[in-house]
Amino acid sequence: MRIIPAIDLKDGKCVRLFKGDFDKTTEYSNDPVAVGRRFSDLAVNDLHIVDLDGARSGEQANRSIVAAIAADSGLDIQLGGGIRDRESLETWLANGVTRCVIGSLAVTEPECVKQWVSEFGTDSIVFALDVRIAATGEPMLATHGWTEDSGVSLWECIDGYAEAGIEHVLCTDVSRDGAMAGPNFELYGAVLERYPQLQLQASGGVRSIGDLQKLRAQGVPAAITGRALLDGKITAAEVSSFRPSA
């Protein structure tokens, strides 16, 4: 299983949100490039970057910082936040980003996204599918920076891309993100049971190397962790020891 460190950008700084709430922000560094360099020293190959300002407004104000992190870190970058047109997608893929993360548009504009998958390939696009668990237990998708409920279930969305092709899915339980409450193991088990071919990325709630070990035991291909690394709850030594048995 791959461990993927995460950097969230807001106002040019590295931050973390609590459950996706922009009013509950913890600032970690005013030098995100240095954070990316720190993560590049870990035993990892990938780095997940979210432009929170872009996710909220569609304007990628942190563009220069993303480019600097990509150039400096040497890691495979997957970038999300504000990528809402073909031009942005093409530009980033041509300028140091390995995969572009498509969130709300995957739910609201599926025909457009299917065209992008056909043109750029399934390995170039990560579907960011953010869920809230309904009272019925159904995972329902939240969009637009988690501010809107789509009325579409996780299963409906993935099934809708079956013919077009869908390879990488980054699935976040919104209630767990930044809360250090532990991943939603039940959700990820259900996803893998339904779609064993997916390159699933578990996101939200990772507290320790133990959580990552449990996700790996479930068969999850990759897991994203931000706050636990930034807070030192997961150490460089633990990441290094995790990799050989992956």
Position 107 confidence tier, pLDDT thresholds 50, 70, 90: very high
Angle at 71 between CA 70 and CA 74, to 5 degrees: 75
Question: DSSP states of 22-86 as a string?
Answer: EEEEEEEES-HHHHHHHHHTSS-SEEEEEEHHHHHHS--TTHHHHHHHHHHH-SEEEEESS--SH
Q: Tens digits of per-residue pLDDT, 130-141? A: 999 998 999 999
Active site residue 8: yes
Q: What is the pLDDT of residue 19?
A: 57
Catalytic residue among 51, 53, 130, 177: 130
pTM, two decimal places:
0.90
Q: Which two tokens stand for residue 174?
A: 């919104």
Q: Tens digits of per-residue pLDDT, 108-154? A: 999 999 999 999 999 999 999 999 999 899 999 988 766 677 789 99
Q: Tens digits of per-residue pLDDT, 216-244? A: 999 999 999 988 999 999 999 999 988 65
Active site residue 173: no
Q: How far is CA 238 from CA 8, 92, 135, 201, 205, in A?
A: 22, 32, 37, 19, 18
How many beta carbons lie within 10 A of that of residue 207, not counting itself? 19
The superfamily CATH assigns to domain 2-241 is Aldolase class I (3.20.20.70)
Bridge partner list, 148: 143
